[in-house]
Structure 1
Amino acid sequence: MPLLIEPEMLATLLKDERLVVLDARFSLADAKQGRGMYNQGHIAGALYADLEEDLSGSIVPGVTGRHPLPGQKDWQATLRRWGIDKDSQVVVYDDGGHAMAARAWWLMRWAGISQCMILHGGMKAWQAGRYPVTTDISDVVESQSDFSTGHMPTVSAVDLLKEMKPEGKGLSRKLIDARAYERFRGEEETMDSLAGHIPGAVCHPFAENLDEDGRFLSADHLREIFTSLVGEDFRPVFYCGSGVTACHNIFAMELAGLSGATLYPGSWSEWITDPRHPVARGQ
């Protein structure tokens, strides 16, 4: 099953009864913007997948990060509400940056749904190709399928602390931060209450998986990048600010043919809820 689908191919599949299309557009700066864009026009048959209402669980102040994973029962209920079953072919898109789409893709894989693709270039590419949009909202027949979570590896803060070398000098395996360099180094922090990164981490901003047109780099190019980052350790742990853009790096590794990456879902926003957790700044 390919990981990316081009607009011209998706346009030929929209009448397939097995197809479920999800619109995951979302702005961290304005939580209502994504749904507003969906209401103004979306791909025919697409259902709206809200980052905070559908693709995240409930925040517990002082305990969780900003976008914790949804609970198992809640996520199963969401999948059924969208009419998804084990035979569904899922396509997810966002505005073109692929970060929200990658979060949805990861959650599908987490639930054991292997037939999930991201629309390459997102809504921007769809509209650039002059493919039609609609404001109609399709009726959905709720599925009766059972799902289970845990099909993608994760680690907790407790796991990371157990693996951390003496004196908080990093982990026994590669830890990769998907945020911008300025946030990683602790020079600025626009989202969270404390700046810096988890000791021992290296930085690979998720945007560097894309070319200047916002399309994913070739598999060979991505393989070169991630092989350089992780070396011979193909059990890397990815994190970001809240567990969303880290999924972009995991997706890019899959595109490169490098499977097995682990997600720290709580990420930086969860890590800093405990003042006992070590923090590093600079390179």
Structure 2
Amino acid sequence: MVRSLRFLLLVTVLGAASGAAPVEAAPAYLVDADWLAEHIDDDNLVLLEVRYHPHRYFTVGHIPGAVQVQRFKDLGDNTASPLMRFPSKDAFQATLRRWGVNDDSTLVLYDDARTALASRLYFLLALYGFPMEQVKVLNGGTVEWSAFNDLSQEPVERAPGNFTLKDADADLLVEWTDVYDDVVSRRDPGVVLLDARPHDMYTGEVIRHSISGGHIPGALNVVSLDGTDAQAQTWLGDEALAALYQDIPKDRRIYVYCHDGFRMSLAWMQLRHLGYADVRLYNGGWSHWGNTLTLPVVEGAAPLDDDFAL
């Protein structure tokens, strides 16, 4: 009944102009607020919130029982440059244990940013061998939950967990040297480089949090957030997602980057859901490439400029 009311509300508020509510994608790991309400008191459930502005965990509030994830400190390498290189296995394992994660834990991840922030956490769990059948993502995040449920401002601490991670899966990441070798230098036809940032950052019209503007030579631009509904904070349907990535061949190896590791993680989740078998994330992304002045950059809407088109 609650779900039906929520559906009618979305139709009325979000779909009035078109007369229809958006169809949602159906990955098995996407759950809604009704599912969470039914399972929130499960003994082995660990609820993790990644807010864009972390202080809002306290001031705006969080889903009752949710542990705060500080998106930069907890999901990056605090000693690296840039900070959002992937954390080491030992560091991330210590973080998971601090959150109370055990071998039998079911994790539910959510954010207030169209799952882009939760996707970084989801990817790191996959990178270090967490059993992904035990991981869920709340589609719609705080918007979905707070439409019919209360938030809490009380901080949550859990008893330390004991989960042990595996070594990083080398088939899920690439370093700048791989990108430079395979894409910029050799033009390997079996590799596609994908820039998941907003188009104005891809072209160089907007420069934010980096010295250089533009994109890596040869990169195609698909904005991963375009696969989500900005108001409802939910994924679009499979047909819309497939159309978004229609120019990306499924039989290629895909390298993806964004600025600081969130939009590219969302692209990774979307591509894997669509059946792309080999998708790897650039460890450091544009925060590394765009701040390393010796590495080549292309400005404008085309993947290559005159220098690199030869």
TM class, shorter-length: 0.7 to 0.9
The percentage of counterpart residues that share the same residue type is 27
Match for residue 237 of structure 2?
Answer: 218
| Aligned counterpart for 1:179 among listed residues 183, 190, 197 | 197
Normalised by the length of structure 2, the TM-score is 0.81
* Matched pairs, number: 271
| Aligned counterpart for 1:58 among listed residues 69, 78, 85 | 78
Residue 171 of structure 1: how far off its partner (Å): 6.9
Pair 1:156 & 2:182 matched: no
Q: Which runs of 5+ in 2 are unaligned?
A: 1-26, 303-310
* Residue aligned with 1:92, SS: strand
Whole-Å separation in 2 of the counterparts to 1:232 and 1:104: 25
Whether the 8 Å CA contact 1:220–1:256 is kept in 2: the answer is no
Pair 1:4 & 2:30 matched: yes
| C-alpha RMSD of the superposition | 2.1
Q: Deviations over 1:7-54 (max 9, x none)?
A: 11101101111111101002xxxxxx3233345421111000001111
Whole-Å separation in 1 of the counterparts to 2:180 and 2:251: 19
Residue 239 of structure 1: how far off its partner (Å): 0.2
Classify 1:116/1:234 alpha carbon distance in 2 versus 1 (closer, same or farther; 3 Å). Answer: farther
Whether the 8 Å CA contact 1:56–1:67 is kept in 2: the answer is yes
Whole-Å separation in 1 of the counterparts to 2:115 and 2:184: 34
Classify 1:271/1:137 alpha carbon distance in 2 versus 1 (closer, same or farther; 3 Å). Answer: same
Counterparts of residues 163-174 of structure 1 (less than 5 Å): 163-166=182-185, 172-174=190-192
Which residue type is aligned with residue 9 of structure 1?
W
* Residue aligned with 1:22, SS: strand
Residue 218 of structure 1: how far off its partner (Å): 1.4
**Structure exhibiting the larger radius of gyration computed from Cα positions:** 2
* Residue aligned with 1:236, SS: strand
Match for residue 91 of structure 1?
Answer: 108
| Aligned counterpart for 1:253 among listed residues 259, 262, 271 | 271
Whether the 8 Å CA contact 1:57–1:69 is kept in 2: the answer is yes
Whole-Å separation in 2 of the counterparts to 1:6 and 1:96: 16
Normalised by the length of structure 1, the TM-score is 0.88
Q: Which runs of 5+ in 1 are unaligned?
A: 27-32
Match for residue 306 of structure 2?
Answer: none
Which residue type is aligned with residue 260 of structure 2?
S
Classify 1:6/1:109 alpha carbon distance in 2 versus 1 (closer, same or farther; 3 Å). Answer: same
Whole-Å separation in 2 of the counterparts to 1:4 and 1:140: 24
| Aligned counterpart for 1:239 among listed residues 233, 244, 257 | 257
Whole-Å separation in 1 of the counterparts to 2:239 and 2:102: 33
